[in-house]
Amino acid sequence: MKHIYQVGAQPDSPTLLLLHGTGGTENDLVGLGELIAPGAGMLGVRGNVSENGMPRFFRRLAEGVFDEEDLIARTAELGAFVDAAAAEYGFDRNNVYALGYSNGANIAASLMFHQANVFKGAILHHPMVPLRGLELPNLNGLPVFIGAGENDPIVPKRETEELASLLSGAGADVKTHWERQGHQLTRTEALAAAAWFKSQV
């Protein structure tokens, strides 16, 4: 997968897996990652799916309607890529936090839905429920930050609440932060994520 990697400031620094929104690139969330986790390693990945020339991590059939077969395959592909990148670059695979926005947050959530120890924690900005009817693995104590907009036209409030409930039900420690905005990522939401992350490490 097309990607960038920036080594962390210290050998024991966490690594952030940066997962962009629709139309983004592997560089999109570097600044956000540096705001949230100064000194962390950064693994920015570009989605392998193109929707009218816009990179995405998996196909969709319509706005908010995912191609579930493709999502499952792409989730496995991304998980295998992170494993390989850890071996190539020498970062601790057990000290990786997901940082995703929109489409990137959705595939990060899908990874957690499929694999118990895929992340040490996750920051999901404006995610949706990736799959329904799936038995989640044991996510006991997994710290998850969800940033959401009360007026988000793409992700209804009930969708955010359902995702938080599913993750909590599997044992994750979920913090939901609400903005009175839409689907855009605001600075106050980013600062809330940074404060949350600081409390985790």
Which residues are known to be catalytic?
102, 152, 183
Could you identify the residue written with the tokens 């983004």? 24
- Rg of the chain's alpha carbons, rounded to an integer? 15
> Distance (Å, rounded) from C-alpha 172 to C-alpha 162?
13
Which contiguous run of DSSP H or E holds residue 79?
Answer: helix 68-89
Could you identify the residue written with the tokens 């710290």? 143
Q: Is 187 exposed, middle or buried (0-12, 13-18, 19+ CB in 10 A)?
A: exposed
How big, in percent rounded to 5, are the helix, strand and coil portions of the chain?
35, 25, 40
Could you identify the residue written with the tokens 């592997």? 26
Instruction: Decide: 27 and 18 in contact? Cβ < 8 Å.
Output: no
